[in-house]
Amino acid sequence: MKKFDRKLILIDGSEYYGYGFGSFKEKITEIVFNTSLVGYQEIISDPSYTYQTVVMAYPLIGNYGIAEDDFETESPTIGGLVVRDYNDQPSNFRSQYTLSEIMEKYQIPGICGIDTRKLVRSIRDLGSRKVLITDAGTPLEEGIQKLKDYEIPKDAVSLVSRKTVEQFFIKNGAYHVAAIDCGMKQNIVRSLNRRGCNVTIFPWDASMEEIEKIKPDGIFLSNGPGDPVDVQPVIELVKELRGKYPIFGICLGHQIISLAYGAKTYKLKFGHRGGNHPVKNLLTGKIEMTSQNHSYAVDRESLANTRLKVTHLNLLDQTVEGVACEEDKVFSVQYHPESAPGPQDSSYLFEQFIEMMERTKNGETNWFHSLSLQIPL
């Protein structure tokens, strides 16, 4: 049997031995798990995983390689990757690199040969917590001390957000969307472009004056990593922009909108990460299979004293998955309607945003008539 060369040390003192791939640097992050069967490239390149190590619940990873066109960001910032079986010989006509090659390039440590079923159960039962990816010979006491001494940074959004304004324009674009980049996935841009939107992406700390200069038809608030209360400039920006423009938020953007209206957020025990989470649309009664990736949720009771209505609920734990304020032309969802690969049940939300911008252009106020339904909080 090949000798183990890497291991995980968790703050509770548990150890998991395995074999390294990708980068062999030592790193401390928060450990989480994802239950998706496919999409490991989108996962490692999703900025929302900054400062997090992801355990893949599905056992075989790496078998279809990496394709240049499928990245969600140019420079992945995920903390690490843990898998049961890593395949370094992909079979896919689109593959241009192995997963290990990309992880080595971007200094992402990986470890395979781990009993991921046991590890996922541990995260589910004890919650997400700090983990050290290190050499197999690192003493347990030394590793635990490193974990105790290290604080995970709270600058994740500023780290991953663009530093300058970028434009993604298409021929004959009918709408101009100003997107606030808190860690925006590239497939959100593609989803808006496909529906006739020119997209101007602003850094997370852009001012209202900068945004209004381009005379947008609508505002988009992106996904991103970390605790939403750490992104105060964007919360204040929403307070300034709401009611002036149609606003659509996804994931972190959803939480930011809720905080801007006076609601509260809280951290989930182990988060929601996967491609099969059932969500009920309270406006239509339909069930959507959704792709999710978040550690925080909106406190449902705290919405009672705001002007937001709950529009979507998670059927697994009844957490809030969508809110809206009809009078301000604002709506958001906690999950990812743009996710690819992933379910496409929720792509209608982009059409809803476009309809909102079109009705606003035409001077209509009843932009989303179904929101007039009285939905209990």
What's the CATH class of domain 157-372? alpha beta
For residue 71, is pLDDT > 50? yes
Percent of the chain whose predicted confidence (pLDDT) is above 70? 97
DSSP type of residue 160: H
**Cα–Cα distances in Å, from 326 out to 176, 285, 297, 370?**
21, 19, 21, 9
For residue 377, is pLDDT > 60? no
Specify whether the CB–CB gap between 47 and 133 falls below 8 A. no
Of 30, 42, 288, 338, the catalytic one is 338
**Diameter of the chain by CA atoms?**
71
| Closest among 102, 39, 111, 110 to 76, alpha carbons compared | 102
- pLDDT value at position 366? 65
Strand spans (E) along 139-252:
166-168, 175-181, 197-203, 218-221, 247-250
- pLDDT value at position 368? 58
**CB neighbour list of residue 93: distance below 8 Å, 6 or more residues apart:** none
Q: How far apart are CA 118 and CA 59, in angstroms?
A: 12
What's the CATH class of domain 6-152? alpha beta
Beta-bridge partner residues of 167? 200
User: In the predicted model, what is the mean pLDDT of residues 80-100?
Assistant: 98
DSSP type of residue 341: S
336 is catalytic: yes
Find the angle CA(322)-CA(328)-CA(334) to the nearest 5 degrees.
15
Strand spans (E) along the chain:
6-10, 15-22, 27-34, 52-56, 60-61, 80-82, 85-86, 109-112, 129-135, 166-168, 175-181, 197-203, 218-221, 247-250, 265-281, 287-298, 309-314, 320-325, 330-333
Specify whether the CB–CB gap between 347 and 191 falls below 8 A. yes
pTM: 0.95
Q: Per-residue confidence at 376, pLDDT binned at 50, 70, 90?
A: very low
- pLDDT value at position 339? 86
Of 254, 272, 312, 336, the catalytic one is 336
Find the angle CA(74)-CA(75)-CA(78) to the nearest 5 degrees.
130
Specify whether the CB–CB gap between 143 and 11 falls below 8 A. no
312 is catalytic: no
Q: Where are the domains of the chain?
A: 6-152, 157-372
Residue type at position 357 = M
Q: What pLDDT, in 10s, does the model give residues 6-44?
A: 999 999 999 999 999 999 999 999 999 999 999 999 999
- pLDDT value at position 373? 39
For residue 53, is pLDDT > 60? yes
Q: Say whether the peptide bond before residue 153 is cis (omega within 30 degrees of 0).
A: no
Q: What pLDDT, in 10s, does the model give residues 309-335?
A: 999 999 999 999 999 999 999 999 999
Q: What pLDDT, in 10s, does the model give residues 115-147?
A: 999 999 999 999 999 999 999 999 999 999 999
Q: What pLDDT, in 10s, does the model give residues 336-347?
A: 999 877 888 999
338 is catalytic: yes
**CB neighbour list of residue 318: distance below 8 Å, 6 or more residues apart:** 300
Mean pLDDT of the chain, nearest integer: 95
Q: Per-residue confidence at 364, pLDDT binned at 50, 70, 90?
A: confident
Beta-bridge partner residues of 166? 201
Two structure tokens written together for 273: 């990460």
CA 227: distance to chain centroid? 12
- pLDDT value at position 342? 80
For residue 101, is pLDDT > 50? yes
The torsion angles phi and psi of 279, rounded to 5 degrees, stand at -125, 135
Q: Is residue 166 classed exposed, middle or buried when 0-12, 13-18 and 19+ CB atoms within 10 A define those classes?
A: middle
The torsion angles phi and psi of 312, rounded to 5 degrees, stand at -140, 145
Of 104, 251, 288, 325, the catalytic one is 251
